[in-house]
Chain A
Amino acid sequence: MSSPAISTLKMMLAKDLVREMRSKEIFLSSFLFSVILMAAFHFASAANRMPIEYIPTTALWVCILFSGTLGLNRTHASELKNGCFRALMLAPKEAGWIYLAKVTSNALLLGFTLCLLVPILVLFFQFNPGSALFPLLLSLILGILGFVAVGTVIVAVTANTRMSDILFPIIQLPLQVPVLIAGTQATQLCLEGKTPTDWWQFLVAINVVYLSIGFLVYEFLLEE
């Protein structure tokens, strides 16, 4: 990776994180939404006497899906405010690096939100990964990366359309199916004390495919 590319990544990342630390707009909305989802799962599982060992996986991935969608939408909307996204596109940088920087900051924000959900998982579902912590983290990191790799492209494409709030989830959800299947399978196997090597390989492969496509097409997708 060339140094201009690294410096673009670092600049964009620092800018996004400073903005989010100051406004807390995306983090707060994603976190509060996730807490509501967790609470809904808690009451629903109690009412239906669902086996508790399957709930953390479901709850985590539902949070990634819905809070992630909400977060991506808000991140991009804040970038469109004041025409800032145009300023980025006008900068003499390869759009692909701007895409990768956006993926990184979106993944960090979503990952941070999930970290703060751990106490709620413990409280509601007696969540205790124990020795599965690191495999679980790897599964979630790979899953989140795949999720935001797709979402960052789709949210940029749908942002300038009418009904973008509706179009974004409708278009992105089918594309997220492989990530969701692999992510949930890997997470559940980790919690059962198994090593989901095949699913990790699948997630790595799909991340490479999604990130490569995003890197190459970002510039063309954003032309008005």
Chain B
Amino acid sequence: MSFRVHLEAVSKNFGEVQALHPLTAQLGPGERIALMGHNGAGKTTLLTVIASLSKASTGNVHYLDGDRELKKKPEIRQRLSLLSHQPMLYPDLSILENFLFFSRMYDLGLSKDAILDHLDAVGMSGDPNRLVRACSQGMTQRLAFARAMLHRPELLLLDEPFSGLDIRGIERVQKLLRDFSGTVVMVSHEVDHCHALMDEFWILRRGRLVKKLQRTQYDRAQLEAEFRSELPEEL
């Protein structure tokens, strides 16, 4: 795996609101980065820019495979995956129909058995014919995580992946993340999850990257203290 992303002075405005100030950074193979910050700090905006869903207002995002720059969107999107606040699954289709559809969209050609195996990793292989709209929030979140992992991406972008999960769901997702060998960028407000699973912590404040911390230098309590120190007073 040699997929890298280079953010070159990337910023994002929504009208007059500057959601992200110019940011230059590199996401290398196998890196595990937690994006931390207060509500409205620009974490989700940064994820959608990296995911190529949102165009940077200024600056450039370069997607690299070794020394070769990837230019075509399909080529880039085959390498990455995004788990957002929304599950990105069709509510009127069954769990199996959704995964068969996305398997074909990614040219994976997975059989029903292969999909059931994949769903088993998140504990959702029991009732594959259930409509997604009939699933609870926690079940839908497990499915959303499984969908994001379906095509074995090299870069996994996660926005609050533990939201709505029960304790078993959290354990399963944590295990899958530990076993995942690619690059992970995870947005989470849970310091415990960030510290347990990620190696580097980027703290954003009002759209600016203000701190980059390494897990080797900060224990959990120190990380929380650093995180709290960057929360704006009025929030």
Residues of A participating in the B interface, judged by any CB pair closer than 8 Å: 4, 7-8, 11, 15, 18-19, 22-23, 78, 81-84, 86-95, 219, 223-224
Contacts and interface: CB of A to CB of B under 8 A. Distances in A.
A11 B74 contact: no
Given A11-B104, A18-B93, A95-B73, A83 B78 contact: no
A113 to B, nearest CB: 19
B107 A86 contact: no
Nearest to A95: B73
A187 B84 CA distance: 47
A87 B93 CA distance: 15
A147 to B, nearest CB: 25
Interface centre among B48, B54, B74, B147 (most CB of A within 10 A): B74
B153 to A, nearest CB: 10
Contact of B107 (A19, A87, A89, A92): A92
B88 A93 contact: no
Contacts of B180: none
Given A94-B74, A95-B73, A19 B102 contact: no
Interface residues of B, number: 32
Interface of B: 48, 51, 53-55, 73-75, 77-78, 80-82, 84-93, 97, 101-102, 104-107, 132, 147
Contact of B86 (A19, A82, A92, A224): A82
Nearest to A220: B55
A92 B78 contact: yes
A90 B107 contact: no
B89 A223 contact: no
A14 to B, nearest CB: 8
24 contacts: A4-B107, A7-B104, A11-B105, A15-B97, A18-B93, A19-B92, A78-B92, A82-B90, A83-B87, A84-B89, A86-B82, A87-B102, A88-B105, A89-B53, A90-B77, A90-B81, A91-B105, A91-B106, A92-B73, A92-B75, A94-B73, A223-B54, A224-B48, A224-B54
Contacts of A90: 51, 53, 77, 80-82, 88
A79 B89 CA distance: 10
Contacts of A18: 92-93, 97
Nearest to B147: A87
A96 to B, nearest CB: 11
A23 B92 contact: yes
Contacts of B80: 90
Contacts of A93: 74, 105
A23 B97 CA distance: 15
B108 to A, nearest CB: 11
